[in-house]
Amino acid sequence: MLKRNGSVLGCLEAERVALLRLKDAFNHPNGSSLLPSWQGHGDCCTWERVICDNSTKRVTYLLLNYTRPHVLSNLQWSLNASHFLPFHELQGLDLSGNFMSALLGTLKLNNLQKLSFSNNMLTKVPSFGGNLLTNDKPLNGAQMLEGLVLDLLGWRIP
């Protein structure tokens, strides 16, 4: 994170690097991307589909819906949950419409409130590090989760 006179000028370096890794995961096999503003430099808080907290400059929302090119819809594709580990303040994650067959690993985002997997090709419910509900507490890996959308599986957990 860049600072001048005590004020934050840009996003956290670890989050910027993680976003670039996510971009690589979403890219077409030929290298083309639907995330042209995501470059190796600059403030990732100004990138499309990224929303940051104004004061801390931490990423709070990733709107990655329909990011994977439709031409790849016939290719089985999965995403590793570890890509999201650097986003400690992430509150919303939209992965809708990416033709994803699986989210590999465990999604551990304690501040997550909104999560959408609609219009994917998931073959199972992603792991959150525990049972979906334990003692009336939501998902162990996302204690603040208010909504989970898994439309293709026909499930909606309010």
pTM to 2 decimal places:
0.78
CA neighbours within 13 Å on the CB side: how many for 70?
A: 1
In contact, 102 and 87? CB cutoff 8 Å: no
In contact, 149 and 116? CB cutoff 8 Å: yes
Q: Where are the beta strands (DSSP E) in 14-158?
A: 50-52, 59-63, 77-80, 92-94, 100-104, 114-116, 133-134, 137-138, 147-150, 155-157
Q: pLDDT per position in the chain (158 positions), as tens?
A: 444 433 346 789 999 999 999 999 988 777 777 899 998 888 999 999 999 999 999 999 999 999 988 777 787 888 999 999 999 999 999 999 988 888 898 888 888 888 888 888 887 767 776 544 333 444 444 444 454 555 544 333 33
